[in-house]
Structures are given as structure tokens and as C-alpha cells.
Amino acid sequence: MTALGRQGRQAGEREGRQEGQRSTLLKQLRLRFGELPEPVVARVRAADAAQIEGWTERVLTSPTLDDCLTER
């Protein structure tokens, strides 16, 4: 496999992991806070890895959806 091919594969794997994390976070948010407004779903789908990680940690302890998604 060429270097370019490896880079493409690695990028695809990274994006696949992030998409899995987004799906898991959306499920956790729905279970904890109920049906999600479409802007929240769009925000999660557009988020970077650091945001997803922070929200995934806060979903366990935040009393409200707004608190969970507040940037810190």
C-alpha cells in the first residue's frame, strides 16, 4: 500500500471512530434528556473530537441538556 493509501485509510478509520462516538453521544443524550431538538443533533454531528469527548463525559453528571453542551 502506498503512503497516500495508508493516509487515506487512517483518515477513514478516524472519521469512522468519530462517527461512532457521535452516535453513542446522541443516544446517551436522548436517554438522559429525552427527544433532542434538531439544532442539538446538528451541533453534535458537526462537533470535533474534543467537543464530543467533553460532552460524553458531562452527559453523566449534567442536570440539563444546556448544561451538558455548554462550552467550558
Whether residue 65 contacts residue 29, with contact meaning beta carbons closer than 8 Å, is answered with yes
Query: What pLDDT is attached to residue 71?
Result: 81
8-state DSSP, 61:
T
Q: What is the pLDDT of residues 25-49, one digit of tens each?
A: 999 999 999 999 999 999 999 999 9
Cell digits of residue 69 = 453542551
Task: Say whether pTM exceeds 0.85.
Answer: no
pLDDT of residue 40: 98
Q: How many structural domains comprise the chain?
A: 1
Task: Calculate mean pLDDT across residues 10-38.
Answer: 88
pLDDT band at 6 (very low <50, low <70, confident <90, very high): confident
Domain range enclosing 63: 3-69
Q: What's CA 27's distance to the chain center, in Å?
A: 10
Query: Between 3-33 and 49-58, two packed helices, what is the crossing angle to 10 degrees?
Result: 30
Check if the beta carbon of residue 68 is closer than 8 Å to that of residue 29. Answer: yes
